[in-house]
């Protein structure tokens, strides 16, 4: 069964990250298409999709990918601050890529390029800094 083959893969951190990332990507693409259908420019459509995708991504990556369900303000506030700084950097990078490449490339392609690049450094920062947790049986961070 396909389900039996997928379940072990989703036990792995990288596969969960990619799966959620693809889901949020599809959501963002739908937002871009809808925004442009309503008359938004490429830059505005990508900006709207970025912010909506961001909220969904933060919650899913924290809770599902990294199994970080800690909600105490001493944990959550520094995570939100670190995430916000990363987001501002990613947002600027995304708009810069869109500005440099559109036209001739459509907004969906420029967003995809920027997303592919930011996904790599985001995964490493989430894993090593933002959502890292302590192992229950040791004082080591993982």
Taking only the tens place, the pLDDT of each residue in 55-90 is 898 899 999 999 898 888 899 899 989 998 998 999
Q: Where are the domains of the chain?
A: 9-130
Q: Residue for token digits 């369900």?
A: 69
Cβ atoms of 70 and 133 closer than 8 Å: yes
Whose tokens are 């670190």? That residue is 82
Mean pLDDT of the chain: 87
DSSP label at residue 63: I
pLDDT of amino acid 117 = 95
Separation of alpha carbons 133 and 139, rounded Å: 10
Average pLDDT over residues 96-104: 92
**pLDDT, position 1:** 66
| Predicted TM-score (pTM) of this structure | 0.70
DSSP assignment of 105-117 equals S-HHHHHHHHHHH
């Amino acid at each position: 069964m396909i389900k039996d083959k997928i379940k072990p893969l989703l036990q792995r951190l990288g596969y969960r990250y990619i799966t959620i990332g693809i889901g949020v990507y599809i959501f963002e693409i739908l937002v871009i298409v809808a925004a442009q259908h309503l008359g938004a420019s490429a830059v505005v459509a990508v900006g709207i999709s970025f912010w909506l995708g961001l909220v969904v991504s933060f919650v899913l990556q924290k809770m599902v990918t990294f199994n970080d369900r800690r909600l105490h303000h001493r944990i959550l506030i520094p995570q939100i601050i670190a995430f916000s700084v990363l987001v501002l950097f990613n947002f600027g990078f995304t708009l810069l890529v869109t500005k440099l490449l559109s036209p001739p490339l459509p907004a969906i392609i420029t967003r995809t390029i920027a997303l592919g690049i930011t996904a790599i450094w985001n995964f490493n920062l989430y894993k090593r800094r933002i959502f890292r947790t302590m192992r229950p049986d040791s004082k080591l961070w993982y």
